[in-house]
Chain A
Amino acid sequence: MTQELSKQSNRLQDGGRIDRSKPLTFTYNGKQYKGFEGDTLASALLANGVDIVGRSFKYSRPRGIVAAGAEEPNAIMQIGSTEATQIPNVRATQQSLYNGLVASTTNGWPNVDNDLMSWVGKVGGKMMPPGFYYKTFMYPKSMWETYESYIRKAAGLGRAPKENDPDIYDKMNQHCDVLIVGAGPAGLMAALTAARAGARVIIADEQNEFGGSLLSTTEALNGKPAAEWVAEVVEELSGFDDVLMLPNSQVNGYHDHNFLTIQQHCTDQFADRAPNGQIAQRLHRVRAKWVILATGAHERPLVYGNNDLPGCMVANAVSTYINRYGVAPGKDLVLMTSNDNAYRTALDWHDAGRNVVAIVDSRKNPQGTFVEAARERGISILVSSGVIEAHGSKRVTDVSIAPLNEVGDAIVGSVVKMAADTVATSGGWSPVIHLSCHTGARPVWNDDIVGFTPGVTVQKQLTAGAINGAFSTVQVLDEGLSAACDALAHLGLSKPDVVLPEADVIEEGKAMALFHIPHTKPTSKAPKQFVDYQNDVTAAGIELACREGFESIEHVKRYTAMGFGTDQGKLGNINGMAIAAKMLKQTIPETGTTIFRPNYTPVTFGAIAGRDCGELFDPKRYTAMHAWHVERGAKFEDVGQWKRAWYYPQGNETMQEALDRECLATRNSVGILDASTLGKIDIQGKDAREFLGRVYSNAWAKLAVGKCRYGLMCGEDGMVFDDGVTSCLAENHFLMTTTSGGAARVLSWLEIYHQTEWPELEVYFNSVTDHWSTMTISGPNSRKLLEKLTDYDVSKDNMAFMDWKPMTVAGVPARVFRISFTGELSFEINVQANYGLHVWKELFEKGAEFDLTPYGTETMHILRAEKGFIIAGQDTDGSVHPFDLGMSWAVSMQKPFSFIGKRGMQREDCVRENRKQLVGLKTLDPKAVLPEGAQGVLDPKAPIPMPMVGHVTSSYWSANLNRSVAMGFVKGGLDKMGEKVYYPLADGRVIEAEICSPVFLDPKGERQNV
């Protein structure tokens, strides 16, 4: 242990919440270090005396750890011991240390300690002044790509893994009465109160243990160390079934209707890769009846010259490292403050046995409990003074201190230089209002605390503690209690017995509003005074923006990049606004604030994707015969979410060879298609027939029981959106079929019209798509095959084309429809889906003698194209009505009641001359297959741009006809039969085609009518 300690130069001999008996080894920038269980990566780095953790974005200046929580702007790491487990943009202050952790800085090129780019900073950063992006966008535009790659590299945004992440990320939906964000004193008090009242509580905190500020305070609660009270509360909370405690969990987004997202680090806090099957990170999707924001406050650093040198830190962070992690991050401290609170840091430093050089207080006459304590310890206090500049190259070595005037905006005496390696500063506390802003609430300035507090919200949201500007422990605990009581009252739960723990009473003197410490030189000439470390925004940059005419704080933000990106202005926003306000000669509330958006800290893509990846990315829908298709070596195609057999290659067949074989087999003998995916809707009721007449363009009044009819469905605009065959099962009972992809839409369409337009019609619609397995046997031998499997008389006389009959097929009751999408004699056999595969296999058993050939969707497309049958969605695109398709036979203008689309298809534009109309396209060269999508022209010699007359919608090689077949749109095409149309292709060829009927095969329909 001693050995471990001796290597950690800044580690204290005792104290803190780390376990010195559990040393951990980690690697940072390729070098091994030791830390202890309970450390964060940041505390372990500081313990080891690592000063530089990155290089700044614009000026490439060396940067050190500034803070101890989510607000850390500099220590942004790339974590991961293998390529596959890389995580970018992790704040070292939020990453628990574990054995074997591998971290590297995300910026600093080629390395942080000796950066080739630092000359940029030294020559004054003129390469990227504020507004660099905008000025570059304006001119010279051609250079942007060059700049971008260079900025990317310099900006240190981390990188995504190049390999698949082996870890599991998932999501969980949560519901609760009260969601408490933050488990500091306010959050814990609220949780305890709500839990005792029997409420369903979720309490989340970004830290690895609950307690918040109480984990690093020296204050007592109930006369004992505050951490003991924390332990008692945590113990009690864990005993409630309805309390979910989420440490290592950031509430990252606060969305509408009290929906919040929490990113929980489940195992990546202690392992590079989740142990066997465990979840690495989980995104909780929480719906809370009430939300209590107990998010606390971030201490605000002061802005002074070279305030970004490693060794310059936020005061409270220094205390946290000492008290919680047993790390004193330096030897000689100068504390600069505008308030009493920060005196605690000097006390902690002193009590840790380190040297406090001086407390530099901007106020004239500081008084209060902590001030007295400092005086008692003999610490030197310089009043009415400020640190105007830090000196050093890779770490602070000295500071310049100067007397300030009463308001802190001018130097009123001579500058003294003191040696120090650490500068802690405090300009007061900024409430963490980020989540409250996510709801759209505008923050409200509060002069008393010199900060913004949450604005009026429309959400069921309460706030407690430092977020409201209540900073003393007594006040914070009390606010936690009352917020919980408010929530309980809203929930109708009664207040339980709770007693506030007794906290130390602390007298604090009035704080001073101070943001930007003046320098002996004007801001533009002074050493850089950083406002936003992460985005390298300086006081001079903000002043320049104001001088250039940016008056709105939103514009200043965008011009300078202040508060951009993953930082979200946690440390710098208010200082920046104060500087802008001063330049604009107005108050901070007049200047206003920018607001924050989700997410509070970066979220991994893994957590966002959850389990919706890989095999589970999107549902795959299967028919009852799917296993057979797989076994038969089918290639599949996606139709909606369905996996449909596309074609069934045999041996070394190419796709075209397989298609030719399938097409010929079907037309010459018999083929079979799994058509189970077709949408099927059972329609019942005495008004079913009337309803059909209104939603289809054709007539349904006279369709007899036992008969089937093809119908076109149009939108209000008269454009075709779906088609299919509907069969009359009984007088008041129909079965509608739809396209595979259109099933859900058609059912909704029917319901919308029934529920909103014609509720008086007595009709019910029910989806039976999945209930029936549908197999179509098609070809001249299809009847012979069917006869082998049924006793029913399926002769032409008993079962004519467009009849349906109930019969038993292969021992299974079936509905058989004599409808055809191939133009061949066809039977569509429907059986209850649990028997689909049985019947399918029986068909093959009996079909062997006819060489029954399975065919997929591609052969189906070819066979129907030979017959000129359209596919809704391929030969239609929402801009064509039935007349454009040459399907006037499927429109009945005589129906007593109107039908959907009737008015639309009679609009002036729909009846004009020269609309694009669907025609057949017969290539002059029978071997030439037009590419689908090719645009036709009437004059191939016309100058470019040639007037285009329409595109090819369907085009295939037809083995049956030994030539190509195609359909496409041609302006006025129905009147241009026999005329020529030309298709100039990208490769320079021009394919010539004759406009013809789309029916290439068996124009009289004799084959299907046998």
Chain B
Amino acid sequence: MSDVTVEAMEGKVVTNQLPTGAIVGESPLHHSDLASIAEKGPQQGGVHFHERKLKGLLTLRCTPSVEQLSLIESLLGVALPMQPLTSVTADAISVRWMSPDEWLIIVDGEQAFELETRFQEKFSGHYALVNISGGTTIFEVSGSHVVDMLKKSTPVDLHASEFPVGKVVSTVFAKSGATICRLADEKFELVVRRSFADYLWLWIQDASREYGLVVKA
């Protein structure tokens, strides 16, 4: 077994789940051929949509001690956001607070296994780090009417005073759910589940119609 790495320290398995070589992964919106829409579709509009696909997404569960917190910081390269509904966004890694003992970590697709391995090797105590990259995708929505579109979709208050840049909430989105993070005044990140991605993409197209939707490659 040379091509699959399996380690069983701490009584857990960590597996590289990505193939090597030429096999290309297909994101949940692969069938929509967003690249063509980006090229041939409208270039002007109040809502911009981009699928940040094939990223590495991991769920970290733990109730960290002070020592574990600094260890996690050294493993991630950023400190774990401990304030509810906050996040950290850096070049190589983003961390979203999900619940008192849960964080969502976003890295490049190939980095997920490396991070899992690092934790497996260095971290001790009760925790779980679960790769959910295949089960999720990221929608980046932006534009002058992005807040209007989101107001049709989610009951959360998106006013800058209540939802500043960096805030993150996991909440109802249409009849599904999303983890919403504000990246800039008019730019949001939605982390959604694979199986609901098509429904949510349809919903966003519909909710954006009156403002004009621009798909970005």
Which residues in A have some Cβ–Cβ distance to B below 8 Å? 168, 170-175, 200, 242, 277-279, 285, 287, 611-612, 615-616, 618-624, 626-627, 642, 677, 682, 684-686, 705, 729-733, 762, 764, 766-773, 792, 806-808, 811-813, 815, 831-838
Are the CB atoms of B132 and A616 closer together than 8 Å?
Answer: no
C-alpha gap A453/B136 in the complex (Å): 54
Given the known interface contacts A173-B154, A813-B3, the answer about A766 and B196 at a Cβ–Cβ threshold of 8 Å is no
C-alpha gap A772/B132 in the complex (Å): 9
C-alpha gap A764/B207 in the complex (Å): 37
Residues of A within 8 A of B6 (CB): 806
C-alpha gap A624/B196 in the complex (Å): 11
C-alpha gap A277/B203 in the complex (Å): 15
Are the CB atoms of B134 and A833 closer together than 8 Å?
Answer: yes
C-alpha gap A769/B132 in the complex (Å): 9
Given the known interface contacts A173-B151, A619-B176, A642-B195, the answer about A838 and B23 at a Cβ–Cβ threshold of 8 Å is yes
Are the CB atoms of A813 and B151 closer together than 8 Å?
Answer: no
Are the CB atoms of B17 and A624 closer together than 8 Å?
Answer: no
- Shortest beta-carbon distance from B202 to chain A in Å: 6
Q: Is B1 an interface residue (CB 8 A)?
A: yes
C-alpha gap A234/B148 in the complex (Å): 23
Q: Which of B11, B31, B132, B202 contacts A766 (CB 8 A)?
A: B132
Are the CB atoms of B198 and A771 closer together than 8 Å?
Answer: no
- Nearest to B162 among chain A residues (CB) is A175
Q: Is B27 an interface residue (CB 8 A)?
A: yes
Given the known interface contacts A732-B12, A770-B194, the answer about A834 and B4 at a Cβ–Cβ threshold of 8 Å is no
Given the known interface contacts A175-B159, A771-B134, the answer about A813 and B23 at a Cβ–Cβ threshold of 8 Å is no
C-alpha gap A967/B6 in the complex (Å): 43
Given the known interface contacts A172-B152, A685-B128, A833-B135, the answer about A624 and B26 at a Cβ–Cβ threshold of 8 Å is yes
Are the CB atoms of A771 and B152 closer together than 8 Å?
Answer: no
Q: Which of B10, B59, B152 contacts A611 (CB 8 A)?
A: B152
Are the CB atoms of B202 and A808 closer together than 8 Å?
Answer: no
Q: Type the 1/0 row for B1-37, where 1 means its CB is closer than 8 Å to any CB of A.
A: 1011010101111011111110111111011000000
Are the CB atoms of A762 and B202 closer together than 8 Å?
Answer: no
B115-161, CB < 8 A from A: 126-128, 130-136, 148, 151-152, 154-157, 159, 161
C-alpha gap A837/B154 in the complex (Å): 32
Q: Which of B20, B31, B130, B148 contacts A768 (CB 8 A)?
A: B130
Q: Which of A733, A766, A770, A807 contacts B134 (CB 8 A)?
A: A770
Residues of B within 8 A of A769 (CB): 135, 195
Beyond contacts A766-B132, A768-B132: 17 other A-B pairs, Cβ-Cβ < 8 A, are: A172-B152, A173-B152, A175-B157, A277-B210, A611-B206, A619-B174, A619-B176, A684-B128, A685-B126, A705-B8, A768-B130, A771-B133, A773-B134, A813-B18, A834-B27, A835-B25, A837-B26
Given the known interface contacts A612-B175, A770-B193, A812-B19, the answer about A762 and B130 at a Cβ–Cβ threshold of 8 Å is no
Residues of B within 8 A of A618 (CB): 175
Are the CB atoms of B19 and A616 closer together than 8 Å?
Answer: no
Are the CB atoms of A834 and B133 closer together than 8 Å?
Answer: yes
Are the CB atoms of A811 and B195 closer together than 8 Å?
Answer: no
Are the CB atoms of A731 and B11 closer together than 8 Å?
Answer: yes
C-alpha gap A174/B156 in the complex (Å): 9
Are the CB atoms of A682 and B198 closer together than 8 Å?
Answer: no
- Nearest to B150 among chain A residues (CB) is A173
Are the CB atoms of B193 and A764 closer together than 8 Å?
Answer: no
Given the known interface contacts A616-B174, A642-B195, the answer about A730 and B126 at a Cβ–Cβ threshold of 8 Å is no
C-alpha gap A767/B210 in the complex (Å): 36
Are the CB atoms of A768 and B135 closer together than 8 Å?
Answer: yes
Q: Is B50 an interface residue (CB 8 A)?
A: no
Are the CB atoms of A770 and B135 closer together than 8 Å?
Answer: yes
Are the CB atoms of B132 and A771 closer together than 8 Å?
Answer: yes
Residues of A within 8 A of B132 (CB): 766, 768, 770-771
Given the known interface contacts A611-B207, A732-B10, A813-B4, the answer about A623 and B152 at a Cβ–Cβ threshold of 8 Å is no
Q: Is B190 an interface residue (CB 8 A)?
A: no
Q: Type the 1/0 row for B171-203, where 1 means its CB is closer than 8 Å to any CB of A.
A: 000111000000000000000011110111011
What are 28 A-B pairs at a CB distance below 8 A? A175-B162, A611-B203, A611-B206, A620-B199, A624-B194, A642-B195, A682-B130, A731-B11, A732-B10, A732-B12, A764-B61, A767-B135, A769-B135, A770-B132, A770-B193, A771-B135, A772-B135, A807-B1, A808-B19, A811-B20, A813-B3, A813-B16, A831-B17, A833-B28, A833-B135, A835-B19, A835-B23, A838-B24
Residues of A within 8 A of B194 (CB): 624, 770-771, 833
- Which size class do B's interface residues fall under? 35 or more
Residues of B within 8 A of A621 (CB): 195-196, 199
C-alpha gap A168/B17 in the complex (Å): 44
- Shortest beta-carbon distance from B192 to chain A in Å: 10
Q: Is B54 an interface residue (CB 8 A)?
A: yes
Given the known interface contacts A772-B134, A832-B133, the answer about A766 and B195 at a Cβ–Cβ threshold of 8 Å is no
Are the CB atoms of B18 and A615 closer together than 8 Å?
Answer: no
Residues of B within 8 A of A627 (CB): 31
Are the CB atoms of B126 and A834 closer together than 8 Å?
Answer: no
Given the known interface contacts A770-B134, A771-B135, A808-B3, the answer about A730 and B12 at a Cβ–Cβ threshold of 8 Å is yes
Name the residue in B27, B30, B61, B132 with the highest tally of chain A Cβ atoms < 10 Å from its Cβ. Answer: B132
Residues of B within 8 A of A287 (CB): 155, 157
- Nearest to A689 among chain B residues (CB) is B11
C-alpha gap A815/B16 in the complex (Å): 11
- Shortest beta-carbon distance from B80 to chain A in Å: 16
Are the CB atoms of A806 and B15 closer together than 8 Å?
Answer: yes
C-alpha gap A612/B31 in the complex (Å): 23
C-alpha gap A770/B12 in the complex (Å): 21
- Shortest beta-carbon distance from B98 to chain A in Å: 11
Residues of B within 8 A of A620 (CB): 198-199
- Shortest beta-carbon distance from B207 to chain A in Å: 7
C-alpha gap A835/B19 in the complex (Å): 9
Residues of B within 8 A of A815 (CB): 15
Are the CB atoms of B196 and A619 closer together than 8 Å?
Answer: yes
Residues of A within 8 A of B156 (CB): 173
C-alpha gap A677/B15 in the complex (Å): 22
Residues of B within 8 A of A770 (CB): 132, 134-136, 193-195
C-alpha gap A730/B15 in the complex (Å): 12
Residues of B within 8 A of A772 (CB): 134-135
Are the CB atoms of A813 and B26 closer together than 8 Å?
Answer: no
Closest 6 CB pairs of A and B: A770-B135, A732-B11, A771-B135, A834-B25, A731-B11, A833-B134
Are the CB atoms of A813 and B195 closer together than 8 Å?
Answer: no
C-alpha gap A811/B61 in the complex (Å): 31
Residues of A within 8 A of B174 (CB): 616, 619
Q: Type the 1/0 row for B45-72, where 1 means its CB is closer than 8 Å to any CB of A.
A: 0000000001000010100000000000
- Nearest to A626 among chain B residues (CB) is B31
C-alpha gap A170/B198 in the complex (Å): 20
Q: Which of B1, B12, B28, B155 contacts A729 (CB 8 A)?
A: B12
Q: Which of A278, A771, A806 contacts B4 (CB 8 A)?
A: A806
C-alpha gap A200/B158 in the complex (Å): 13
C-alpha gap A796/B57 in the complex (Å): 36
C-alpha gap A773/B27 in the complex (Å): 12
Are the CB atoms of A733 and B203 closer together than 8 Å?
Answer: no
Q: Which of A174, A733, A836 contacts B13 (CB 8 A)?
A: A733
Are the CB atoms of A730 and B209 closer together than 8 Å?
Answer: no
C-alpha gap A644/B157 in the complex (Å): 36
Residues of B within 8 A of A831 (CB): 17
Residues of B within 8 A of A168 (CB): 209
Are the CB atoms of A686 and B11 closer together than 8 Å?
Answer: yes
C-alpha gap A154/B19 in the complex (Å): 72
Q: Which of A173, A642, A685 contacts B155 (CB 8 A)?
A: A173
- Nearest to A729 among chain B residues (CB) is B13
Given the known interface contacts A611-B206, A808-B3, A834-B26, the answer about A682 and B128 at a Cβ–Cβ threshold of 8 Å is yes
- Shortest beta-carbon distance from A650 to chain B in Å: 23
Given the known interface contacts A766-B128, A807-B1, A832-B134, the answer about A170 and B12 at a Cβ–Cβ threshold of 8 Å is no
Residues of A within 8 A of B16 (CB): 813
- Nearest to B25 among chain A residues (CB) is A834
- Nearest to B3 among chain A residues (CB) is A808
